[in-house]
Amino acid sequence: MPKVWIDGQLVDKENAKISVYDHGLLYGDGVFEGIRLYSGKIFECEAHLDRLWHSARAIRLDIPISRDEFRAAMQQTIKANGFTDCYIRACVTRGVGYLGISPKKCARPSVFIIADTIELYPKEMYEKGMAIITASVIRSHPNAISPRIKSMNYLNNILAKIEAIDAGVPEAIMLNHEGNVAECTGDNIFMVRSGQVQTPTTADGILEGITRKVVIGLCGKLGIPCVEKTLQRHDLYIADECFLTGTAAEVVAVTKIDGRPIGSGQVGPITRKLMEAFGRVIREG
């Protein structure tokens, strides 16, 4: 029976429950991280913990255990489930409170950690690339809730995802409040033009992806020019290549946007080179 770690206890998956009065459930008041385990090693563990702590601080949520305890809890959950490769969902909620949004009513934040398998996209999409659309739903305004916070409030992303599903594609680009490209519903977006890799900046309304950072680093190691810059849909439409990055998605090519073929309509050479390089990183640790 799979095990889930909840506030210091490992419980069977079927008994892994939270209170209906938990403000994470009632109001989306909490933060989380999606993390990968490859060959028994937590990938970019410290970077994920940094982002979790930063997200919690941004919403004035005190994580009730230390980083060392959090790291140990993830390892305990992995071991209990016998995984060497898996997806980890680490969550911190405001905790159990009362009806009403005031966090002052919540006695103590709650932590739960799930370890399970995940396959976001079918294997053929990694070989042939995917089609995506541009959603009508925009990314959160930075003065509402910063997109740099990985919060449990994902409703605008979900609405954009529904538009993608309705269009028969797996992902959707979300624009920011200025109409510029931000990211996809669960992935960061990159494009290639004239040999240069380009991706939106943190000021464009993105979550600072861990895989995004790794890929930017790989560009440096491989001698591929890479810049962070503001992009518009027009830039994507005339790009030579396009690809997405994310913890669950890893690196996957985009070959069509809004019905328009990107470049040759095939997985491009720079995208393929980065996919292969990322594969080596996760295999070699």
Task: Give catalytic residues, as residue numbers.
Answer: 150
In this predicted structure, the answer to whether residue 10 has a pLDDT above a threshold of 90 is yes
Instruction: Map residue 171 onto helix, strand or coil.
Output: strand
In this predicted structure, the answer to whether residue 199 has a pLDDT above a threshold of 90 is yes
244-285 confidence digits (pLDDT tens)? 999 999 999 999 999 999 999 999 999 999 999 999 999 886
Separation of CA 260 from chain center: 26
Q: Which is more confidently placed, 142 or 165?
A: 165
**Residue 84, burial from CB neighbour count under 10 angstroms (0-12, 13-18, 19+):** exposed
Q: What are the structural domains, with CATH classification, of the chain?
A: 3-116 (3.30.470.10), 123-284 (3.20.10.10)
b/e for 137-150, b at 16 or more Cβ within 10 A?
Answer: bbbbebeeebbbbb
Residue 103 has, within 13 A of its CA and on its CB side, a CA count of: 15
Average pLDDT, rounded, for the chain: 96
Cα–Cα distance between 65 and 149 in angstroms, integer? 20
49-105 confidence digits (pLDDT tens)? 999 999 999 999 999 999 999 999 999 999 999 999 999 999 999 999 999 999 999
Cα–Cα distance between 25 and 106 in angstroms, integer? 13
Q: C-alpha distances in angstroms, 47 versus 41, 118, 134, 145, 264?
A: 14, 21, 29, 21, 35
Contact 81, 3 (CB under 8 A): yes
pTM, two decimal places:
0.95
pLDDT of residue 285: 67
**Residue 220, burial from CB neighbour count under 10 angstroms (0-12, 13-18, 19+):** exposed
116-129 confidence digits (pLDDT tens)? 998 889 999 999 99
33-46 confidence digits (pLDDT tens)? 999 999 999 999 99
For the chain, percent of residues with pLDDT exceeding 70: 100
Cα–Cα distance between 273 and 219 in angstroms, integer? 10
Name the residue among 175, 199, 176, 204 with its Cα closest to residue 188: 199
Average pLDDT over residues 153-181: 97
Contact 172, 185 (CB under 8 A): yes
Average pLDDT over residues 174-201: 98
pLDDT of residue 131: 98
In this predicted structure, the answer to whether residue 190 has a pLDDT above a threshold of 80 is yes
In this predicted structure, the answer to whether residue 195 has a pLDDT above a threshold of 70 is yes
Residue 97 has, within 13 A of its CA and on its CB side, a CA count of: 21
pLDDT of residue 120: 80
Structure tokens at 130: 């995917």
- Return the number of other C-beta atoms located less than 10 Å from residue 101's C-beta: 12
For the chain, percent of residues with pLDDT exceeding 90: 95
